[in-house]
Structure 1
């Protein structure tokens, strides 16, 4: 189009915008990311009240997603959803202006991503409450931590959430591209007007081929991190000040290991050993509910939380527990371990270096040679990478929707304190070592709690455990998966308290 040819809104409009200095070109950076805005079924399928037939736009967006995956560029999906209290409480101003949005309820079909999109487990997912994907979310921090310089935006609706996201993208410091064919709306007029305004003031509105090209530029390789890198942010450390517990330390060989001691000093000690990606603080909600029965102490297993790094074999972890028992002068302690911690606790009991008053083993991994652990190492490392890049409770909730909100928030802040090498070492042990030989050797009074819906300890595993060592009691927690206390906090805590009271 020449300077005298009319554009979408006529030659006078074009001249007015040109005179004002709008419409400059956006530079293409070396580290792009794709943000797919609200391509959920409630918007992309015409049978839903808020929806329209966006089949072509979804196909174009999927083309971009696949291009980003092929290039190794980050992909962020977003969805709007509201809880019952947000819908019924009247506090969300947008729902007063647009009451039709009330149908976007947590867990509903409307808020699920369109199944035609090639979403990978390593992609990011954000739940939002406003139009912009940046408003009230950790998106800006996430993109910054990924060293992103260019954001490619697509999705629905063009005049609403796409436009708001693109505007906030620029305001957050990112050069922004909006892909025309991959954006959809309920009507043509708002769609065209939104793209016109975005092109004039905020972004380059580009065709699909250019969007694909922008996602795979010649760029330096992504920043690598070594196995020893661990992050503890000020916000994570601030959580420690809110605990009714004292930090204490023990030395195990060359490593210092950290323990949260909930007291009181005169009560019978219960030493808690958490799982593969659970720093000590993640068990706070369990420990503080037991203070009237025992003296809970929770260990930061080495490579996690505030404890030192490696080695990460089962014997070294067991030696750490023995060191804590000896140096903190824990007499006749009860030992509670969850998942990885259950294997460690069993190893401590079998080694016999510490005199134990009893064991409580919670959903110990039954995997081993020929039986892979249900969660792959790649999944654990992807979650860790997500945490290191910058995550929040909403993103954690996408993977762990049943957890209490506080536990989602703590995981968001503390998962990055775990060492990749520690996770890899533990996972290797899950698949190279069996729990059953330890179980058969246990002579210390032992109770095994398992999630009735756990894929880690199945019903056939329960039968095998009963046969292998009938001296010990097995108790299922109804409704719980492998993350027993997080999945069913009231039921799991009731069961644990009932176990502890006779001790």
Structure 2
């Protein structure tokens, strides 16, 4: 962006050009990339192929991480286009061609608008003027707005200025903004950078979306949930990773180390732990990358079964747990199996609940990564029990509320790497070697452990005892709390006898 050095020094002396804070809840506003602006065959347009391509990459990245995408378009009714009621059209009569329903106001076909995206139709330069955009952004709990589109000197500039005036920190993405001529484009970006927004490179904007997507968050209401949990927080280190454990006591009880699933912080298994305290001493681990535990120092290698099993070893040793029982659900069941076969621990037994049976040469894990990340994106934008209920309608209300408040504490990298592990690490490499006594609980309606899968598991480890929880899906305890807990208590009772 060409900058006159004298102008630059004058602006610097005046105290302009400070860096804009970047929040944790961005939204992308794509301004007026409609055919009337992006195609040179329209009188109001120019060839904005490069800018549309850049904007499309922003849209794809925002959508991949679950951040809101908002398109804007100028469109006039016949009365507005042909009449004298819109002052702007008296100054810029060429804009009268932007009529409702015409090709000129259609979104550029190179952009992929989907049902979950928003569209704001406007009559003026700013996407905020006379629209509900500010209310929409507030409703989406956005704190930072990324702006791109056309034209830089007109609608992009007006929208960026009004974004700041509406209370949002604002970034303008240079390569994704276009104009009909270079000089007004450069002048607008210079002024925006000086007074209103950070003008950033496309790579910077993409990196910001990526980094922000894996920024784990916990709200005050989530932390307050711990006040209702009858457990003591314990801390253990596994290498450089600090691990949090909820210890339900009693201190002289047989320890049962509970290992939750891929998107389940420890607190979400509180209702299971409470139902066991008369039998055993439940201790529920915040698996690394979830809840209050640290992230892996190297996300590319720190979320495999070996790393998770090493954490189990560290918890058992660090808390002095003698001959514990390992109880794992889903991902946690895989971790329990791996920890049991390493031979490093003296265990009273294991209980594996609906472990993912996917792996190399097998079918994919039934829940896609996009589904997990979509739910994570909802949580980081701010979700509630009603929205959670649309994905998990059978769960008790309290469990829906806890998921709404605690899912945002899960690391995107942890979810992504663990999901990949469901298909690259074979459960059946460990399962035949899991020593007795071991119990295998599964949901009768689970898509993760099918009837065929349960039969293979029984064949591969004949010493294991199996129990089906009728009508339960993969989330056994959540789908059928009473029946799931009864089956678990029966298994634990046998391990204690």
Same fold (TM over 0.5): yes
Aligned to 1:352: 343
Give me the whole-angstrom Cα distance separating, in 1, the residues matched to 2:465 and 2:315: 27
Aligned to 2:396: 404
Q: Residues 28 and 69 of structure 2 are in contact (CA less than 8 Å); yes or no, is this contact kept in structure 1?
A: no
Aligned to 2:458: 466
**Residue of 292, 306, 320 corresponding to 2:278:** 292
Give me the whole-angstrom Cα distance separating, in 1, the residues matched to 2:387 and 2:293: 26
Aligned to 2:142: 144
The Cα shift of 1:75 comes to: 7.4
Q: Indicate the SS of the match to 2:377.
A: helix
Aligned to 2:371: 379
The Cα shift of 1:147 comes to: 4.3
Q: Number of paired residues?
A: 328
Aligned to 1:325: 316
- For normalisation by structure 1, the TM-score amounts to 0.60
Specify every segment of 5 or more residues in structure 1 that has no aligned partner in the other structure, as ranges. 1-28, 34-68, 77-117, 125-133, 150-172, 176-218
Alignment of 1:5-404 (within 5 A): 31=29, 74=68, 140-145=138-143, 147=145, 224-226=209-211, 228-310=214-296, 311-370=302-361, 371-404=363-396
Q: Indicate the SS of the match to 1:361.
A: strand
Aligned to 1:454: 446
Aligned to 1:435: 427
Q: Residues 450 and 476 of structure 1 are in contact (CA less than 8 Å); yes or no, is this contact kept in structure 2?
A: yes
**Residue of 464, 486, 491 corresponding to 1:494:** 486
Give me the whole-angstrom Cα distance separating, in 1, the residues matched to 2:137 and 2:472: 31
Give me the whole-angstrom Cα distance separating, in 2, the residues matched to 1:248 and 1:423: 24
The superposition leaves residues 141-171 of structure 1 with CA deviations (integer Å, 9 ceiling, x where unpaired) of: 534357499xxxxxxxxxxxxxxxxxxxxxx
Give me the whole-angstrom Cα distance separating, in 2, the residues matched to 1:331 and 1:286: 22
Q: Residues 28 and 68 of structure 2 are in contact (CA less than 8 Å); yes or no, is this contact kept in structure 1?
A: no
Runs of 4+ aligned structure 1 residues displaced above 2 Å come to: 29-33, 69-76, 118-124, 138-149, 219-223
Q: Residues 142 and 391 of structure 1 are in contact (CA less than 8 Å); yes or no, is this contact kept in structure 2?
A: no
Give me the whole-angstrom Cα distance separating, in 1, the residues matched to 2:285 and 2:483: 23
Give me the whole-angstrom Cα distance separating, in 2, the residues matched to 1:271 and 1:364: 16
Give me the whole-angstrom Cα distance separating, in 2, the residues matched to 1:377 and 1:470: 33
The superposition leaves residues 188-211 of structure 1 with CA deviations (integer Å, 9 ceiling, x where unpaired) of: xxxxxxxxxxxxxxxxxxxxxxxx
Please, which moves more after superposition, 227-236 or 247-256?
227-236
- For normalisation by structure 2, the TM-score amounts to 0.60
The superposition leaves residues 34-64 of structure 1 with CA deviations (integer Å, 9 ceiling, x where unpaired) of: xxxxxxxxxxxxxxxxxxxxxxxxxxxxxxx
Q: 1:300 to 1:30 in 2, by over 3 A?
A: closer
Aligned to 2:410: 418
Q: Residues 30 and 69 of structure 2 are in contact (CA less than 8 Å); yes or no, is this contact kept in structure 1?
A: no
The Cα shift of 1:389 comes to: 1.1
Q: Residues 360 and 446 of structure 1 are in contact (CA less than 8 Å); yes or no, is this contact kept in structure 2?
A: yes
What's the Cα RMSD here?
Answer: 3.4
Give me the whole-angstrom Cα distance separating, in 2, the residues matched to 1:415 and 1:279: 7
Q: Indicate the SS of the match to 2:267.
A: helix
The Cα shift of 1:31 comes to: 2.4
Q: Indicate the SS of the match to 1:360.
A: strand
Q: Indicate the SS of the match to 1:298.
A: strand
